[in-house]
Amino acid sequence: MKERNKLSERQRNILRFIEQHIESHGFPPTIRQIGKATGIESTSVVNYNLNKLVVAGYLLREARSSRGLRLVNKERGRRGTQSVQSSMIALQIQFAGPIAAGQPLAIPDNMQDSADMLDVLPSMLHGVDPAEVFALRVKGESMIDAMISDGDIVLIRRQQTADDGDMCAVFMEDKSEVTLKYFYREGEQVRLEPAHPTMQPIMVNANNVRIQGRVLSVLRLNV
């Protein structure tokens, strides 16, 4: 347990609650449940500390689920230590600019040509080749219930197809705009669904939609 002394008291409390919730219920808590249990009113602050726990090797996060948390070192014994150490070797992926999680954002001219690189943990790529992954900074709050806040970084696997329910970076060709939403096919249209209780989906003609990639993971670099 010595390693946990390097965590803040708030992060230890969050990790302890997640462990207790999984042990009691068989599944992880939501970001709002974590905040309520640990006395944190801001979901962004909870999100920040969860990503600190990811970087420290204690958690994995699944972007597609509001309960997308997984303990990676609940047992810090013989088997746990090796897996955590291997997950701490950083990989570099391309940082390609901003993406809107709110109203669609005009795509930057240099989005595909950015030379900026971002260090990430292999565990955040879920076995995907780093060359197939790029990072985008989120603007807006439309995906807040998927634990993605304004300023967060999403790691996206490059692909041109998606299944219903995938969280994707989607380029709308007729508007030259890009947005981050859940993807659903509805006949000749595509429904781009936010994860926010007061925001409405965007309906787009399927011929005007180009998928840029599917979200693998989420991280936050700054408060």
Least confident of 13-17, 120-124, 175-179: 120-124
pTM value > 0.75: no
Whether pLDDT at 88 is above 50: no
> What are 41's two structure tokens?
């009113």
Residue 213 shares a structural domain with residue 114: yes
| Residue 214 neighbours by CB distance under 10 Å | 20
Residue 187 shares a structural domain with residue 173: yes
CATH number of the domain that residue 211 is part of:
2.10.109.10
For 62-85, what is the mean pLDDT?
51
Among 44, 123, 142, 217, the one annotated catalytic:
142
Residue 98 shares a structural domain with residue 160: yes
Active site residue 149: no
Among 52, 149, 181, 217, the one annotated catalytic:
181
CATH number of the domain that residue 61 is part of:
1.10.10.10
7: buried, middle or exposed (CB in 10 Å: 19+, 13-18, 0-12)?
middle
Residues spanned by the domain of 28: 2-87
Domain boundary among 54, 87, 120: 87
Residue 79 shares a structural domain with residue 120: no
What does the alpha-carbon distance between residue 76 and residue 73 come to, in Å, rounded to a whole number?
A: 6
Domain boundary among 68, 87, 106: 87
Total domains in the chain come to: 2
- Rounded to whole angstroms, the maximal C-alpha distance in the chain is 57
Whether pLDDT at 105 is above 80: no
Active site residue 142: yes
| DSSP codes of every residue in 147-196 | T--TT-EEEEEE-S---TT-EEEEEETTTTEEEEEEEEEETTEEEEE-SS
Residue 83 shares a structural domain with residue 96: no
Q: What angle do CA 52, 56, 60 make, to 5 degrees?
A: 80
pLDDT band at residue 13 using 50, 70 and 90 as cut-offs? very high
At residue 184, the pLDDT reads 97
List pLDDT tens digits, range 110-167. 444 445 778 777 878 888 888 899 988 898 899 988 888 888 889 999 999 999 999 9
